[in-house]
């Protein structure tokens, strides 16, 4: 088989995997938008905060240790224990639920029925607060995240796809990252669970009702506080999963919050209100940007992925302004 076809296929497969990782970030945005009509600018920072908290708990780090030491002249940094990954993930989830409660209690409940732009501005404030709070709580230095996920290319896939080259010496099997494969499985489970939750459970239906109209939902007895805390908690869980996957690649550090940039074109393409849309959008963006970089990148200096993702999203927007799976909004006057 010709090199370009083999390598193009490899790029396509890796694009699909990258798309899943983008979709993991986009899912958090979709959940909150679906339930409250808020574009949560803080979603990327939530992923960072969740990952910081997870590593901090696993390593037995004393939260706010710098602050405590500065105030009391002590020199404490660690509790001296290590917490197993699974237990640490559960404790982190509890922290994220508490964060959801705090966001609702101190910010969102005061903004019921406000314009979407006001709610958006509130999440910008929340992002900056959480960024500083995370630094203060766990420190700014880079942290290795090891929850036991496999890393590196899969030997098995490489060996068992080598025959596809039909003797082509330049081809030695497809490269697929084991971490990406795990992320794909986790994303598939997550999406299935979230779709079932949103479509077939009482709380899911209540969540959608709140998204349509806060006051109408209140009038039929839906607790806005409960729904918002629930949704922010679920978004916190999705942020934790995204934080683990991305943090395993680069270590846990401030830059993790920038993964939100990768989610924006996915949302534009898939729609802000569709969970499957986030996945399909992620896959299209992932494959599109990787294939473009592979085929066209070398002729125009490379590094095309960031901007091409947005170009691709904008092309889709021309034909489907609400995104591929977004709800068509018809407003009558």
Partner 1 sequence: MKLKLATWATAALMTASPVLADLVMPSLSFRTGPYAVGGIPLADGYADYFTMVNERDGGIGGVPVRVLECETGYNTEKGVECYESTKGEGSLLYQPFSTGITYQLIPKVSADGIALHTMGYGRTSAANGKVFSNVFNFPANYWDAASVAINYLLDENGGDISGKKIALVYHNSAYGKEPIRTLEKLSEKHGFELLLLAVDHPGQEQKSQWLQIRREKPDNVLMWGWGVMNQVAVQEAANIRYPMENFIGAWWSGAEADVLPAGDAANGYKALTMNGVGKDFPIYDDLQKYVYDAGLAAGAGNQTGTVLYSRTIYAGFLAHMAILKAQEMHGVADITQAMMVDGMENLEITDAMMEKYGVAGMGPEFSVSCENHGGPGLGAVTQWDASAGVWNQITDFKVSDKSIIDPLILEDSMAFAAENNIAERCN
Return the number of the residue (67 or 192) whose C-beta is nearest partner 1: 67
Return the number of the residue (119 or 264) whose C-beta is nearest partner 1: 264
Per the document, the length of the chain is 333
Phi first, then psi: give them for residue 252, nearest 5 degrees: -90, 120
* Shortest spacing between CB 315 and partner 1, in angstroms: 20
Phi first, then psi: give them for residue 332, nearest 5 degrees: -100, 145
| Distance from C-alpha of 271 to C-alpha of 266, rounded to nearest angstrom | 8
Decide: is 151 part of the binding site for partner 1 (CB under 8 A): yes
**How crowded is residue 240: how many other Cβ atoms within 10 Å of its Cβ?**
24
Q: Which of 318, 266, 256 is nearest to 288 (CA)?
A: 266
Residue from 140, 160, 201, 223 touching partner 1 (CB under 8 A): that is 140
* Shortest spacing between CB 198 and partner 1, in angstroms: 29
| Distance from C-alpha of 24 to C-alpha of 98, rounded to nearest angstrom | 22
Grouping H, G, I as helix, E, B as strand and the rest as coil, residue 170 is coil
Residue 318 CB partners (closer than 8 Å, separation 6+): none
* Shortest spacing between CB 8 and partner 1, in angstroms: 11
| Distance from C-alpha of 295 to C-alpha of 313, rounded to nearest angstrom | 19
Which of 4-12, 84-92, 220-228, 315-323 is the region at the interface with partner 1 (rule: CB under 8 A)? 4-12
Token pair recorded at residue 168: 């082509």
Token pair recorded at residue 160: 């068992």
Q: Which of residues 32-71 bind partner 1 (CB under 8 A)?
A: 66
Burial of 313 (0-12, 13-18, 19+ CB in 10 A): buried
Binding mask 291-310 for partner 1 (x = CB under 8 A): --xx--x---xxx-xxx---
Q: Which of residues 178-207 bind partner 1 (CB under 8 A)?
A: none
> Residues binding partner 1: what is the number (CB under 8 A)?
45
Q: Which of 163, 159, 157 is nearest to 180 (CA)?
A: 157
Residue 226 CB partners (closer than 8 Å, separation 6+): none
Residue from 120, 133, 175, 197 touching partner 1 (CB under 8 A): that is 175
* Shortest spacing between CB 328 and partner 1, in angstroms: 32
Return the number of the residue (197 or 310) whose C-beta is nearest partner 1: 310
Decide: is 74 part of the binding site for partner 1 (CB under 8 A): no
| Distance from C-alpha of 247 to C-alpha of 256, rounded to nearest angstrom | 7
Return the number of the residue (158 or 327) whose C-beta is nearest partner 1: 158
Residue from 290, 312, 313, 326 touching partner 1 (CB under 8 A): that is 290
Residue 107 CB partners (closer than 8 Å, separation 6+): 122, 125, 126
Return the number of the residue (160 or 223) whose C-beta is nearest partner 1: 160
Return the number of the residue (133 or 197) whose C-beta is nearest partner 1: 133
Residue from 144, 160, 185, 196 touching partner 1 (CB under 8 A): that is 144
Return the number of the residue (151 or 223) whose C-beta is nearest partner 1: 151
| Distance from C-alpha of 275 to C-alpha of 24, rounded to nearest angstrom | 10
Return the number of the residue (39 or 246) whose C-beta is nearest partner 1: 246
Instruction: Please report, as ranges, the residues that interact with partner 1 according to CB under 8 A.
Output: 3, 7, 10-11, 14, 17-18, 66, 77, 131-132, 135, 139-142, 144-146, 151-153, 170, 175, 177, 246, 249-251, 253-255, 258-259, 262, 290, 293-294, 297, 301-303, 305-307
């Amino acid at each position: 088989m010709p090199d370009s076809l083999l390598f193009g296929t490899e790029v396509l497969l890796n694009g699909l995997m990258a798309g899943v990782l983008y979709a993991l970030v986009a899912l958090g945005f979709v959940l909150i938008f679906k339930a409250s009509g808020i574009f949560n600018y803080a979603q990327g920072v939530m992923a960072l905060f969740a990952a910081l908290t997870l590593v901090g708990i696993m390593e037995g780090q004393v939260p706010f240790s710098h602050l405590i030491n500065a105030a009391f002249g002590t020199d404490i940094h660690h509790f001296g224990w290590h917490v197993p990954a699974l237990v640490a993930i559960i404790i982190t989830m509890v922290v994220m639920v508490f964060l959801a409660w705090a966001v609702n209690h101190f910010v969102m409940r005061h903004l019921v029925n406000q314009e979407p732009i006001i709610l958006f501005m509130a999440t910008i404030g929340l992002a900056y607060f959480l960024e500083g709070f995370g630094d203060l709580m766990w420190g700014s230095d880079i942290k290795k995240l090891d929850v036991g996920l496999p890393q590196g290319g899969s030997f098995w896939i490489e060996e068992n796809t080598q025959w596809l080259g039909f003797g082509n010496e330049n081809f030695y099997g497809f490269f697929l990252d084991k971490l990406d494969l795990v992320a794909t499985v986790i994303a598939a489970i997550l999406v299935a669970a979230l779709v079932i939750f949103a479509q077939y459970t009482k709380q899911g239906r209540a969540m959608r009702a709140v998204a349509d109209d806060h006051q109408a939902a209140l009038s039929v007895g839906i607790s806005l506080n409960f729904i918002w805390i629930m949704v922010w908690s679920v978004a916190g869980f999705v942020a934790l999963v995204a934080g683990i996957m991305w943090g395993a690649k680069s270590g846990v550090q401030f830059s993790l919050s920038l993964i939100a940039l990768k989610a924006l074109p996915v949302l534009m393409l898939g729609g802000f209100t569709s969970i499957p849309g986030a996945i399909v959008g992620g896959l299209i963006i992932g494959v599109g940007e990787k294939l473009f970089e592979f085929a066209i990148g070398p002729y125009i200096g490379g590094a095309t992925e960031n901007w091409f993702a947005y170009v691709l999203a904008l092309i889709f927007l021309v034909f489907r302004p609400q995104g591929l799976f977004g709800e068509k909004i018809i407003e009558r006057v």
